[in-house]
Structure 1
């Protein structure tokens, strides 16, 4: 859903990792090129071309340039905010808190004061109708980091119709290039110190796997910006984007029972689901949430949805 309008805060809370925590990938291991045909280009919401590029480690190579409209075509977007405190889970989205995923149904909205132990939460009127943003101006104003008092206790719902002219461009190496140490994602850090990108990767529908949503800033303004059941919401500048993988967007099953593939990290290594077909988590992930096998080469496994996170760092070079 929308980490919304808090786009300036998007970088806040980004995960990072220490370089010494990740073992380098040996040169004799399998490196699997990016398979551009996996992206959903039939609907013309995603276009892919090959361009020359330079990577963060200085490598001159080629990259796939992926241009997307910023709206998902393989699943419905929304709903996010229920209308009334009597509404069921089907009328709202989800919220990520403390590693857990909660349905944003009417009961959740009704009990916000108890949930957060703060009596200032009251997002509905005497009829039980929930205060929700309606217009594009509402969306922009409620998403402002300095939210005015008139938007406190609002459920923020930015709609796909608000971002019909969005175009986003991403570059990923056509073949991933291993690095000897991990790269932290952008976020907090000393001035003039190089860090990696803030975005994590790209789903097969062209939607970005974004940095963790700044939930503390959202809640601190007494607003709620739910995610839909796919883990996404809309920002007026970035369009639709994901903050968690919930199994709704396109997945590529693996013939050996391994967790399905859900997209690519910005370094070109594949990102896979957390659980294999038997419901088991991988046991040997490094600090970036990656590991190696001879079928997929080095690859990542996505974090639990409730953690508001995808992967922790990059073990490969990314396009500058």
Structure 2
């Protein structure tokens, strides 16, 4: 039986609402245990708002999940019990809850009590103000799970739980959230190779094949050095090294055209050099069904590809499709790519 952790993220944001609305309707898979981690009150608030009964059993100790059968359970870290989490407000308490819940989830994974993790959105600034010196989930988990920032790759993909074989964009990023002026210096042969290896492994886990298309950094992929030389000096040598390792790669291609062909299914994934180069096209096509996957961790980790959405909290207007897609993707990865 699989066990998945689901952290509520910043409980002042959309996390509790996403969890409440999804599981109140769908419940858990009859082959799994879901361990929710975070403060209970925001979740109860959302259940009351939508008129749904409590669907989870509370655990005083996350280790108790080992003795439970299929179902949904909730563990509230004790240090969160006396804090308040006003819906839709930006608070340091929300960042503290997100970081504390993540630490609890990491402990659960390390104790082999769960096989995968789904994280609801957090506020990066509030996470840092609460004392967790990380720029986001990816960096937090890479550190806590002993992989380090150089061992992971940020990947985002469209995913339809009702049609997992549907043609969708899948995009890995060589760099994550640095200022744009720093990107050229961060693009190295080693970073590109790491992301290509991890992307190849992810595609294999999903039963997909075909070349990973690699973007150039500069307009028109540099035009043979006339508009920058990163393609010649760094990207092409990295692709040559990847081919020697047996990886199926293609490029570097101009970023203004390669996504058109990837969206038609000619490439199972694209490797972009920086955040907006890759995620602009992805969110244009799959805004409500995109999933964030951290490649390179010892456990599958997925997340909805959107933020805390403070302005949408408790309005019922937020889409739960991205959360649903993230949960389904985590299930597939834990099960070795099977639905």
Which TM-score bucket, shorter chain as reference?
under 0.3
Choose between structure 1 and 2 for higher RCO, CA contacts under 8 A separated by at least 6 residues: 1
Higher strand share: 1
Q: Which has the higher helix share?
A: 2
TM-score by length of 2: 0.23
Per the normalisation by structure 1, the TM-score is 0.24
